[in-house]
Structure 1
C-alpha cells in the first residue's frame, strides 16, 4: 500500500471519530463492530480501499455467515462498509466503483417472530393491572414487568427512547418525544393505567432531568451511552428471568414489546404507515417484513383490554 493510500480500517477510524464527536455513540458502536469483524476477516492486515471489490465483499459475507452471524448482522456490517466507502468517494480518497455492493446482502429479514402471542401479552397486562391495585411499591420483578407493559402501551417505545425521556416530555397525559434513531417527533396519549405505571416508576427528584431513574450522566455523553448499554443488558436479563418464572414460550426482550405492539396494531387494522413510524423503519415494506402473524389470530374477550391500549396509543403528531 502506497504512502498516500488510505486503508478501509483507517477510513473507519476517521468516521467513527466524527460520529463520537457528534454524540452518535450508538452508530459509532455499530461501525466499530463492523470494522472489528472486517479486521478479523482480513487477519489484522490493512485493506487498501482501492482493493475493495465484489469478490472481497462476498468473501467477507461468507466469513460472517460461517461465524453464525444473522443475515441482519451481515446486512448491518456491509452497509457500514458501504457508508464509509461512499464518504471516502465524496472526499476524493478513492474512485467510485459501480455496482460494488450489488451481490452482497444489504436487505432486512425476519427469520423468526419476535412478537409475543396474544395470550402472553394479555396475561402480562392483566397481571400488571392487578398489581397496581394494591398500591404497594413494586419489587424488582414487578418493576420489570411494569416497565415491559408500559413500553408496549407506549406504542412499543424502544428502551433507548424510554431511558432518555425527560420529565418535560410528559405534559398531563400526553407524552411527546423524538425517536433517537430517526429524529421523528412522536406523540402518545397515555391511558389512565399507563399514567399510573408512569407515576409508580418515575423519578421524584426535581433536580433529576430524566423521567425514569435509568441514567445518571448528561445526555449526549459517552458516559450516558455506556450507562444505557449496561441498563439495556440488565433489563433484558431480568426479562429472561421473568419469562422463566411465567413459563412463557415466546422470547421476552425489549424488542418483543415493540414487535408485539406493531403486530397487534396491524391486526387491529391501524394504518401500516403509523406502525412504520413508531417502529422507526425506513419504509412500510420493511415494517411488514417483521410482522409475523400470531399463531392464533382469534382475539378472545380476555384480550380486548389489550386491543384498547393498542388503539388508544396509535396517534402520531
Structure 2
C-alpha cells in the first residue's frame, strides 16, 4: 500500500478488524467510536495520514470539548488516534513526526465526583440487608439495589467483571477472577452478608456457566459482548430510575459503585496499591488523581456498617 494513500480511517478499519478477530470487542468498540467521532469532525472526508498534524489534532480536541465530551473522553479518543498512527508508522505506512501529540490532552482528570456520599451508600446497604429477609420475591428495584451493593462490597468490581463471573469462580466464601481490563488475578474473601446477597440473585440455571443471569452466550463471542453492552445500558437506566425513586442527590451509575468503594477505602487507609489494582489503573498516581480531591474525612456512627464492609475481606497473595 502506498504510504501517500493510507488514510486514518483505513488504519482504524485495519486495527478494528484485527481486534475483532482476536475477540477484543471492548477495545474494538473504543476504536470504532473514535473513528466515528473523527469522521464526523472531518465531514466524512478521508484524511491521508500525511495530513495529520498538531493543528488538526488540536481542532479535533476543541471539537470534542464543544460537544461536552469530558477531558477523559477526549484523552481516550486522542490516545486511540495516537496508537493508530504509531501502528501505521511501524507498518511503514506513515512517516514519523516527532511531538505530533504534544499539545493535545492524553492525561487523566477527576472532572467530577463519582463516589456516593457515605449517607447514600449506607442507605443502599441497609435497604439491601432488608431485602435479604424478603426472599420470596424480589422486584426489579430490589434486584438493581442488590447488584449495585454487591459491586460495592466486592471491592468495586466493574460491571463487566460481574457479568462474566463464572460459578466456578466462587469456591466457598472465596471469589477468584481475572480483571478483563488488565488480566490481573484478584481474590476476595466474602462476608456472610455478601454470600447471602449473591444467593439471592445468582443464576439458578444449572446449564449456565455464569454466576449471575446477565449473559447467555459463550464467553469471548461477539454475541456475549453485545449482551453485555445491552445489560450495562439497561442496568444504568434502572439505577437512574432508582435514584429518582429514592430522591438521591448523588449520581448513581456502575462507576459510582467502584469509586465509592475506592474513595472509602482511601479514607480507611487501605494501601493505595490494592485500590489501584481493584480499579485497574496503570499506577497509584492515577488512582490518587481520581481520589484525592474527593476523600472525605467526615464520617458518622451511622456509616460504621459501610466501613466494616470496606475493611472486611481482602485480596489474597
C-alpha contact (below 8 Å) 1:153/1:313 kept by paired residues: no
Q: Corresponding residue for 1:172?
A: 172
TM-score (norm: length of structure 2): 0.97
Shift of 1:245: 1.3
In structure 2, distance between residues paired with 1:97 and 1:44: 24
C-alpha contact (below 8 Å) 1:155/1:313 kept by paired residues: no
TM-score (norm: length of structure 1): 0.97
C-alpha contact (below 8 Å) 1:270/1:314 kept by paired residues: no
SS at match of 1:180: coil
Shift of 1:2: 6.6
Q: Corresponding residue for 1:217?
A: 217
Shift of 1:316: 4.5
| 1:45 to 1:134, Cα distance in 2 relative to 1, 3 A | closer
| 1:154 to 1:3, Cα distance in 2 relative to 1, 3 A | closer
Shift of 1:144: 0.4
* 1:187-241 Cα distance to aligned partner (Å, 9 max, x none): 1111000000111111122211100000111111111111111100110111111
Q: Corresponding residue for 2:232?
A: 232
SS at match of 2:261: helix
Shift of 1:267: 0.1
Q: Corresponding residue for 1:153?
A: 153
C-alpha contact (below 8 Å) 2:214/2:231 kept by paired residues: yes
Q: Corresponding residue for 1:276?
A: 276
In structure 2, distance between residues paired with 1:269 and 1:116: 18
Shift of 1:284: 0.9
The number of residues matched between the two structures is 317
Question: 5+ residue gaps in structure 2?
Answer: none
In structure 2, distance between residues paired with 1:292 and 1:112: 12
**C-alpha RMSD of matched pairs (Å):** 1.5
Point out 4+ residue stretches in structure 1 off by more than 4 angstroms: 1-4, 292-296
In structure 2, distance between residues paired with 1:2 and 1:46: 15
In structure 2, distance between residues paired with 1:87 and 1:145: 43
In structure 2, distance between residues paired with 1:118 and 1:89: 49
Question: 5+ residue gaps in structure 1?
Answer: none
SS at match of 1:291: helix
Q: Corresponding residue for 2:308?
A: 308
| 1:276 to 1:316, Cα distance in 2 relative to 1, 3 A | farther
Shift of 1:92: 1.2
Shift of 1:102: 0.5
* 1:65-119 Cα distance to aligned partner (Å, 9 max, x none): 1222111111111000000111111111111111110000001111110000001
In structure 2, distance between residues paired with 1:194 and 1:263: 20
Shift of 1:14: 0.2
SS at match of 1:60: helix
